[in-house]
């Protein structure tokens, strides 16, 4: 599966390397990333979640995520998309993402071509 973060035509995601909003606590809520069975295997953990430490993901380094892209949890790979949940039936964009408006504009532009 090819993810948007790795697609060369989506240069817009270069900004992701600078922001790191997806890897930090938000509005006094602890970051809590659910892990799939494959995520747990890739990370070598048994926990069901990654929970922030001191306000950030334990895998967040100075230059972004320290995990190889292939080992990152699925939710990290698809960010800023958020999967359906108990309160939403469709995928959405995480409001913390500062490039979501640019990204949506690019999607609309590409759809018209």
The domain spans of the chain are 4-112
Sign of the dihedral defined by the CA atoms of residues 45, 50, 51, 56, in that order:
positive
**Interacting residues of 82 by C-beta distance below 8 A, sequence separation 6+:** 88, 91, 92, 93, 94
Task: Round to whole Å and give the CA distance between 87 and 57.
Answer: 25
Residue 87: pLDDT over 90:
no
Confidence band, pLDDT 50/70/90 cuts, at residue 2: very low
The predicted structure's pLDDT at residue 49: 92
Residue 48: pLDDT over 80:
yes
First to last CA, the chain: 24
Say what the pTM is. 0.69
Residue 8: pLDDT over 50:
no
């Amino acid at each position: 599966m090819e993810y948007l973060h790795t697609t060369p035509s989506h240069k817009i995601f270069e900004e992701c390397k600078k922001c790191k909003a997806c890897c930090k606590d938000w509005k006094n809520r602890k970051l809590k990333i659910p892990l799939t069975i494959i995520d747990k295997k890739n990370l070598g953990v048994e926990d069901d979640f990654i929970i922030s430490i001191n306000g950030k993901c334990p895998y967040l380094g100075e230059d972004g995520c320290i995990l190889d892209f292939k080992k990152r949890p699925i939710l990290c790979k698809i960010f800023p998309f958020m999967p359906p949940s108990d309160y939403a039936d469709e995928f959405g964009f995480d409001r913390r993402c500062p490039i979501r408006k640019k990204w949506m504009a690019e999607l609309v532009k590409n759809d018209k071509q």
